[in-house]
A and B are shown apart, each in its own frame.
Chain A
Amino acid sequence: MFQNANLSNLLDGIPHAVVLVDKKLNVSRMNRRAEALTGRNNDDAFGIPADYILRTSLHPFPDFFNPVLQERQIVVHEGDVLDRNRKIIPVRFSISPIESNSDDLLGAMVILEDLSLAPYLQEKGAGSDAFDGIVSLNQKMQEVGEQIPVFAGTDASVLIEGETGTGKGFVAEKIHHASKRSGYPFIKVNCGALPEPLLESELFGHVRGAFPGAENNKPGMFRLADRGTILFTEIGDLPLTLQVKLLTVFDDGEFFSLGSTRKVAMKARIIAATGRDLKEMVREGQFREDLYYRLNVLRLRLPPLRERTEDIPLLIDNFVKLFSSGNLVPHFDKDARSVLLDYSFPGNVRELRNIVEHAITLSHGETMKREHLPEYLLQGIEAEKYASIWGSGKKADTHDAGGDANGRGTKWDDVEKEMIIEALRKSRGKRSDAAKMLGWARSTLYRKLKRHDI
């Protein structure tokens, strides 16, 4: 009945990464989710040992296939894989034999179930809703929480505005997981992190030979997102030429990979996030008005933490529980708590989260005191400088643009540079830790390191 079925469509319909291997355990076919996971496309991976493509923790890899290939059993193992973004993802491997009509063994099918999604799915099963994870007494934030399931029910594009660390990515992910697209990938593209030529190739992909150095086909983020959701962070940093191309994708619902003459249908939903005032950028001619209106079909504005100070105690308790191991949940003493409550949190919720993690780590599970807080919080003058600038209500990226007429930018630059150096010193040079301490994304820290020539 299904002899002539289209295998690609069949595999792409499975909401997990799937890899078909031959009897020598070389890759025969991967579905789109497997392509997204590994960053390799079918043509490149064909005939390559599956272990080299999947980069699993199953070691030695062939041993896990013996019961499948020799005794035709279905086996299940838990382990992890290294994905295309250098992240180690916990995975459940289900390996089953593939046989022909005449019972000859053809190879095996490996299904990789992403277990990092399990806690979320459990929550979902337990009857909680998209509001979960948003801790707030603030009316504006509660409205955001109420809008998430509504926005998840449509395919319209969403524009999320808010300062750095307010949780734009978190909210976008919530919308994705609450939507019917949750079984498909959620792909995040940082428009500010890549130079223009690379960004175009990252978004649309390229074919072999499209430009010097393009030695392999690359699927691109739009194709990897498949029927899922694609989040453009720092959309205000998208170069004007690429804004035109993105607009064309919106209008035509399809695109060309670089160097290809074959149209690819765009099925993903687009969410854009920004810390900049896009409307102002439109007025200044830095952002296309037509693209702005395409993105701004549904809009969410996340308030900074200084506008929802009533949430700070709640968030502190929430993060303390999150980072505590075991049954003993430590707490901040009165002094440390008052330092936290008086602080302006320019890095918003992300900064608060990192401060709590910092304090829990240093206190070794005991009561958290003033000395367990990051030093910059306690340096009153520095904190004041910091607060006076951030407290002005300007957006994070506005400061990135440089100094203003009052020389405030120069002052801020000095403070910022000092803070970065201090954080790097404390993290013993580990940039990811330094970024956490500062309450910034890693890409933000890299950008600022370059800017300050550190």
Chain B
Amino acid sequence: MKVLMAVSKDDIASRFDLTVEVVIIKADEGVVFPEPRELLLSEPSGDELCALAVNEAVDLVVCGGIDEVHYEYLMWKKITLIDGVVGPYREALKLLADGLLAPNTIVPAVAQ
């Protein structure tokens, strides 16, 4: 499964439409493959991110929040979405690999 995560430094980005950092990684049940690809966009754009997700043929997008228009577009493209996720993206990936990442998850390690 190919996963695109909208991130902000080490955390999941709170808004899909305002993010410029993206991590693309392969993950299967119980396993997260090493060497995620990190991409930096020139400016935040929900449209560009959607195009990237489609072009990269990702199966799943994880983010902290996504607006309705982009949500529906990705759903239409049969890309699964897990939004409302809060916390460090590496921890979120572990939850994903364990099959525990659901929409609106607050990753336990997030509280400062």
Contact = CB atoms under 8 A, between A and B. Distances in A.
Real binding pair:
yes
Interface stretch (B24-32, B33-41, B63-71): B63-71
A449 to B, nearest CB: 11
Given A24-B112, A216-B106, A52 B14 contact: yes
Interface in B31-88: 64-69, 71-73, 76, 83-84, 86
A48 B12 CA distance: 13
Given A86-B66, A88-B67, A47 B112 contact: yes
Contact of A430 (B67, B72, B105, B106): B72
A62 to B, nearest CB: 12
B111 A47 contact: yes
A59 B64 CA distance: 15
Given A24-B112, A86-B68, A431-B76, A55 B15 contact: yes
A53 interface: yes
A52 B18 contact: no
Contact-residue bracket for chain A: 20 to 34
Contacts, number: 63
A202 interface: no
Contact of B112 (A49, A53, A55): A49
Interface in A43-70: 44, 46-49, 51-57, 59
Nearest to B77: A429
B112 A82 contact: no
Given A52-B11, A213-B102, A216-B104, A430 B71 contact: no
B65 A55 contact: yes
- Among A47, A49, A429, the most chain B Cβ lie within 10 Å of the Cβ of A49
A40 B14 CA distance: 14
A429 B76 contact: yes
A57 B18 contact: yes
Contact of B86 (A52, A57, A432): A52
Contacts of A49: 110, 112
A122 interface: no
B106 A48 contact: yes
A39 interface: yes
Nearest to A88: B67
Nearest to B16: A82
A432 B72 contact: yes
Contacts of A57: 15, 18
A85 B83 CA distance: 11
Contacts of A88: 17, 67
A317 to B, nearest CB: 29
Nearest to A26: B112
A88 B70 CA distance: 12
A87 interface: yes
B110 A52 contact: yes
A248 to B, nearest CB: 28
Most chain A beta-carbon contacts within 10 A, residue among B15, B69, B71, B104: B15
A55 B73 contact: no
Interface string A79-119: 00010011110000000000000000000000000000000
Most buried by A among B67, B69, B105: B67
Contact of A432 (B11, B64, B69, B105): B69
A86 B71 contact: yes
Nearest to B66: A86
Given A47-B112, A57-B15, A430-B76, A85 B68 contact: yes
A53 B84 CA distance: 9
Interface in A13-29: 24, 26
Contact of B110 (A39, A48, A87, A216): A48
B105 A86 contact: no
Contacts of A86: 65-68, 71, 83
A55 B12 CA distance: 12
Contacts of A56: 14
Contacts of B17: 88
B61 to A, nearest CB: 13
Interface string B87-112: 00000000000000010111000111
Contacts of B84: 39
Interface of A: 24, 26, 39-40, 44, 46-49, 51-57, 59, 82, 85-88, 213, 215-216, 429-432, 442
18 contacts: A39-B84, A44-B106, A46-B111, A47-B111, A47-B112, A48-B86, A48-B111, A49-B112, A55-B14, A57-B15, A82-B65, A213-B102, A215-B102, A431-B72, A431-B76, A432-B69, A432-B72, A442-B72
Given A26-B112, A49-B110, A52-B64, 4 more contacts: A86-B65, A213-B102, A215-B102, A430-B73
For the complex of A and B, list the 7 residue pairs with the smallest distance between their C-beta atoms, beginning with the closest: A47-B111, A86-B68, A55-B65, A82-B65, A52-B86, A55-B14, A52-B14
